Structure 1
Amino acid sequence: LREALPDGAWAFASDPEHYAFASVRCVKDLELTDICLPTKTARGTTGRASLTFAPNRWKHDEGLRIEYEGVTRFSIDYARSIDWTQAITLLLDEVLPCDAECGEVTHEMELTDATITVHCADLTATWEEPRG
């Protein structure tokens, strides 16, 4: 997939710790804390979107912030009503090229109560100390 993914998406998806369940940099069990949705600008271009995840206190040292550039689709799908007062944790995610013609990245995240799907030009994932 190296040739099909832009640099930021490739760096995030190819990090070996991303998939190592015992790693402090594994995304499993991170807790969703913030969603910043993309908006259309006056010029008709899409803005940026971001997701912020807090560390799970039993597993992570840092939280994760994912910023999306050139967002063309952002959806949250859920089978039942989401209880936003409860912790919503990340179970798994997948970063894939959309297809050869569109030149976009698809990032799909399965959460305890929902699925988030983002189509974008690229993404940047940054591990950071929790705010607080």
Structure 2
Amino acid sequence: MKFVKAEWDAEMHGFDLDPSAYLAELPKMRDALPPGAWAYASDAEHYSMRGSRCVKDLELAAISVPTDKRGILVIDFAANQWKHECGLRLRYSGVSHFSIDYDRLIDWMQADTVLLDEILPREGGCLHEIALTDASITVHCQDIEAMWGGTE
């Protein structure tokens, strides 16, 4: 990610997370981001670590990859029972690229959970990067629709 910091800190034995550089840049991106991506990224609780609508600690639950030319990709995240009231569904339209890269370094967790994410403008839409505990997801799309509770 360009601005968001989400890195393993061996000395701390945990992840070092810091969205502050991204949050400083985000207002400058308002006119460049598609409307759905802007609404999702600028939600007041998106990066509020204790907030029930913060992406941190959501569990990767399902991915539905587009099989036709509509280019609709859906990623479902399950709620963390200690933090979230409900899960999150991200629906990407006009997908031109999707990848998930696994590190396979953490074997003590049953599911990959979200550390943080970052949405940047790009020609024809946006780039969404999601850092997970043991993987990363990258999506290039026209726009994103975020639906809290959309996975139940």
TM-score by length of 1: 0.86
What is the deviation of 1:104? 2.0
Paired residues, number:
123
Q: In structure 2, list runs of 5 or more residues that go unmatched.
A: 1-28
The partner residue of 1:90 within 99, 114, 128 is 114
CA distance in 1, matches of 2:151, 2:75: 14
**Unpaired segments ≥5 residues, structure 1:** none
CA 1:82–1:48: 2 relative to 1, 3 Å: farther
- Secondary structure at the counterpart of residue 5 of structure 1: coil
Q: Which residue of 1 aligns with 2:23?
A: none
1:17: which partner in 2? 45
Preserved CA contact (<8 Å) 1:5 1:105:
yes
| TM-score, structure 2 normalization | 0.75
Runs of 4+ in structure 1 deviating by more than 2 angstroms, as ranges, are 79-83
State the match for 2:10 in structure 1.
none
RMSD: 1.8
1:46 positional shift: 4.2
The CA deviation at 1:130 is 5.5
Q: For residue 80 of structure 2, what is the amino acid of its counterpart?
A: N
CA distance in 1, matches of 2:44, 2:93: 24
- Aligned partner of 1:30 in structure 2 is 58
